[in-house]
Amino acid sequence: MTESAIASLEATRPAGSLKPADGPTRDPRSRSQRRRARLGGKAWLVLWALALLWSGAAFLDTQHGVLNRDGWPALAEFWVHAVRPDLSSQFLRTTVDAAVTTLAFGVLGTLLSVVIGIAFAPLMSQTWWAPGSHSRASRGLRTAGLLLTRITAAVPRGVHEAVWGLLLLSVLGRDPLVGVLAIAIPFGAITAKVYSELLDEADLGPYQVLRAAGAGRASALLYGVLPGLLPTATSYAFYRFECSIRSAVILGMIGAGGLGLQLSLSFQGLQYAEMWTSIYALVLLGAVIDRWGASLRQSAGGRRWKLSGVLLALLTIASVWHLSPDLSRWFSGRTGALLGRLIDDLVPPRLPQRGWADIAARSVETLQMSVVAISFAAVLGLLLCPLAARGGTSPVRRAVGWLARQLLLLTRAVPPPVWALLVLFVIYPGPLPGALALGIYTFGILGRLFAEVMEDLDRRPRDALSAIGATPWATFAYATVPGASGQLISYSLYRWEVTARETVIVGLVGAGGLGRLLEQQRVAFDYPGMAGTVLALVVVCVVVDLISVAVRTSLR
């Protein structure tokens, strides 16, 4: 599997699948290739440091300062209530109902996104479009078809689910379908991309045999390729389930309901005890799903997978019953009229009132926010991952590891808008609070991924350094980091691409970038301006993606 596919799959690999084989291994690259990779790595490191300094300097307000000292008491009060959540029976019932709603959004959104992914993955794969003949016309048509499907899927993938939620609210109102579709549309496109890469990386021998015997492309893929991909595809679907829960919380904060809405209402009333009850519900939900997914990744199939399939089927039925979506709205004349009006409002897109200068400045600000956020997250994740990695033998080491993993779970369970609102207590409004909020949230995700990389590494270099008296941190710096650097960089670059998209959700609470402009346009019902801003965000994401590809290519 390519590095890009591994980074896209994030934590979906089976445990131990990336462990080195027994015995010494050699780098297959030539000495000149290794030298070019080292020089390329140093050059990119210098460029990244300059970009970070440039971004950080742009966020410092020398006239008014950065820190708001008056906000520290409010922030301290929030954390004090961490040990005093609201445990009244009435609020606990409300919290349980909200958690069930969030879970239902996640279950149905994941199910629909997987269906979309399975349906469109073949059309986005090179295997499907491989020319049946060697004629120039055939190759040209199939190349055009491949490019068309990939470009078509890039648009829904580049628009954040919060934006989809805002648009769907204007058509369907406060219907449960809004949350489900807002998750399914972008996640379906992402899942299709990942599944198409799995198809291209699979063993195509059975597929080619079936094609030579006269089977159609769809039948050959179904019977020749799909059985071998089922465990990995299912594991990725489960990871996407975790992401859907987090997205359901964000959508709840903009009106879809569930724990996100409860968090937003509690924060508006400064009811910190209620907030912590909702946060603990999120942490518990995330811990159960995380543990469930980990158990599936550690097993190769069998009874555990069958039981999980039955449980997911029951959850799907229960989710439909709990949300009770009104499917008649799909076919009502009013919905069709509202959809037509929305399309008319969005097309053609329009620049903001200040023109190109404003959209360019906001785009640069968004890029700077993503640079600061991913740098903050990667550094913290690298420092904490040795503690969070499983494998300690002493009781103290296991206790420290458990605490580190709970910290990572807390930071990724709380949605970025909540972190942004908390940071705004002590830092004046602007892009910096949004960047730090995204950094805290992404730290929880990267820290977990980095810890899994550490768990899968060959321990022999570390044991050798420890045997000659090296300190734990020296062992980490000289044995662990070099062996894991490729995966750490891939994960960091992939999360940078995701973070660039997620700048829009902290911007919706006033934390800067294109998201803030988008919120201003939404309040003013400036739909053509919103379309232009979304396109600008897609361009920023494409730029980040191209830079990431260039970095990976130069380090090979």
- Tokens read off for 293: 């997914």
How far CA 305 is from CA of 110, 117, 232, in Å, comes to 17, 20, 12
Long-range contacts, stretch 85-91, CB < 8 angstroms, 24+ apart: 85/273, 85/274, 85/276, 85/277, 85/280, 86/271, 86/273, 86/274, 86/276, 86/277, 87/277, 91/274, 91/277
Classify residue 187 by its DSSP letter. Answer: H
**Number of C-beta neighbours around residue 149 at 10 A:** 20
- Give per-residue pLDDT as tens, 225-279: 777 777 677 777 877 888 888 888 888 887 778 888 888 888 888 888 999 999 8
State what percent of residues in the chain have pLDDT above 90. 8
How far apart CA 322 and CA 317 sit, in angstroms, is 9
Q: Is the pLDDT of residue 6 over 50?
A: no
CB neighbourhood size of 370 (10 A): 28
The average confidence (pLDDT) of the chain is 78
Q: HSE-up of 406 (CA within 13 Å, CB side)?
A: 9
Question: How many whole angstroms separate alpha carbon 444 and alpha carbon 151?
Answer: 31
d(CA 504, CA 155): 16
User: Alpha-carbon distance 198 to 13, whole Å?
Assistant: 12
The answer to whether 374 touches 499, Cβ cutoff 8 Å, is: yes
Task: Give how far the C-alpha of residue 191 lies from the chain's centroid of Cα atoms, to the nearest Å.
Answer: 12
- Choice among 16-25, 267-276, 277-286, 410-419 with the minimum mean pLDDT: 16-25
Beta bridge partners of 419: none
With cut-offs at 50, 70 and 90, classify the pLDDT of residue 439.
very high
Q: Tell me which architecture the domain covering 358-554 has in CATH.
A: Orthogonal Bundle (1.10)
Tens of pLDDT along 340-367? 887 877 778 777 777 788 888 888 888 8
User: pLDDT digit string (tens) for 379-392?
Assistant: 998 888 888 877 66
**Is there a contact between 529 and 352 (Cβ–Cβ < 8 Å)?**
yes
DSSP 22: S
Domain residue limits, the chain: 88-345, 358-554
The SS3 assignment for 376 reads helix
Write down the H helix ranges in 298-394: 303-323, 333-346, 356-388
Same fold, 88-345 and 358-554: yes
CA pair distance 301, 362, nearest whole angstrom: 48
Residue-level pLDDT at 133? 53
Instruction: List beta partners, residue 67.
Output: 427
CATH number at 88-345? 1.10.3720.10
Specify the 3-state DSSP secondary structure of 51.
helix
Give the residue-averaged pLDDT of 413-442.
85
Strands (E), 380-449: none
Output the pTM of the full model. Answer: 0.77
Q: Tell me: the pLDDT tens digits for 151-163?
A: 777 778 778 888 8
| Token pair of 12 as six digits | 């979906």
CB atoms within 10 A of CB 112: 18
Question: Comparing 234 with 299, which gets the higher pLDDT?
Answer: 234
